[in-house]
Chain A
Amino acid sequence: MAKVDIDKYPKASLDINIRWCKGCNLCVTICPKGILSLDELGKITVDKPEECIGCGLCEGTCPDFAIKVVKDA
């Protein structure tokens, strides 16, 4: 299987509304790059923002509308 070159996909950043996050862990487990985690308060943090590929899975699966994927132009 051909290796996918992620560098050719446009980068994206995550706009997170921390007040609405309830720490359910869904985005952490669904992220294909594993760049999200929960901090000591149980709220979402982005560990490796530079590795985000902007797939939008975290935004689609967040039940609390806390994540927005912003595609970099």
Chain B
Amino acid sequence: MPSDIIRYFRQETLPHIWCPGCGNGIVLRDFAVALEKLNYPRKEVAIVSGIGCSSRAAGYLDFDTVHTTHGRALPFATGIKMANPELKVFVIMGDGDASSIGGNHLIHACRRNIDLTAIIFNNYIYGMTGGQFSPLTPRNKRATTAPYGMIEQSFDICRLAEAAGATYVGRATTYHNQLLTRLIVEGSKNPGFSLVEAVTHCPTSYGRRNDLKTPTDMVRWQKENAVWIEKIRDGSASLKEEQFAIGVLHRHNAPEFTAEYLEVIKRARK
């Protein structure tokens, strides 16, 4: 690890407990590189996480971190942001945590457009509890609770966030490292709710059951199925089955919640 980002880690907790080849470590590293690029004073950063494999990431980072209850990372982060709007709040969630247990909190955080940066580690499965399908498991993929294939439609969490009102939405994979770092940096600078979906890989619970036997196969799958949004927009590529778009998928301007709230306080005091 580059010596300059190792200072962001609680080094006594390393090596981390994730399985060999788990993509969460790659996302965590990219997040640390993004924090280095943003160069916020340590006292101004708060990192909130939910429950799951991915949410253990907060524990490895040497900042003010909160490991909260399942799906409720965003409400805790909202409270932190409202109490001290100066803080830069990052929220780490897994796909099940964000879209299923905390799905309602996610859409309302998007709707309010509160200045948080949510990083969703999407490994398409509930890895920690043994590989049950999540709302993001694609159709026909197998899980312990779907041994003959998933029959439900899956969420596209980026489109969900866009429709719910998030002002910055992006997606990258563990193969597209530098893009992921860039999205986190831009998302943090965006005044409003930013959602970054990090497509990661779970070789233990997902790949093993879906003909992607090694971490390498899973990263290759990401490389082959990720299509840059710029190519889709200029018509030189289109999405085939299983493929997904990466890049800055959506961006718009809207009033930010904490700023609006401070305005209300001013009006009430007049």
Contact = CB atoms under 8 A, between A and B. Distances in A.
B231 interface: no
A29 B223 CA distance: 13
A51 to B, nearest CB: 21
B59 interface: no
Contact of B16 (A19, A60, A64): A64
Interface in B148-187: 174-175, 177-178
A63 interface: yes
Contacts of B236: none
Contacts of B216: 25-26, 29-30
Nearest to B6: A65
**B-side interface size class:** 20 to 34
B56 to A, nearest CB: 13
Contacts of A19: 15
A11 interface: no
Interface in B202-220: 203, 214-216, 219
B72 interface: no
How many chain A residues sit at the interface, stated as a range, is: 20 to 34
B25 A63 contact: yes
Contact of A61 (B6, B15, B174, B214): B174
Given A25-B215, A30-B219, A68 B21 contact: no
Contact of B21 (A25, A59, A67): A25
Nearest to A28: B216
Interface in A35-73: 59-68
Contacts of A68: 1-3
* Residue of B1, B9, B177 contacting most chain A CB atoms (<10 Å): B1
Interface of A: 17, 19-20, 22-26, 29-30, 59-68
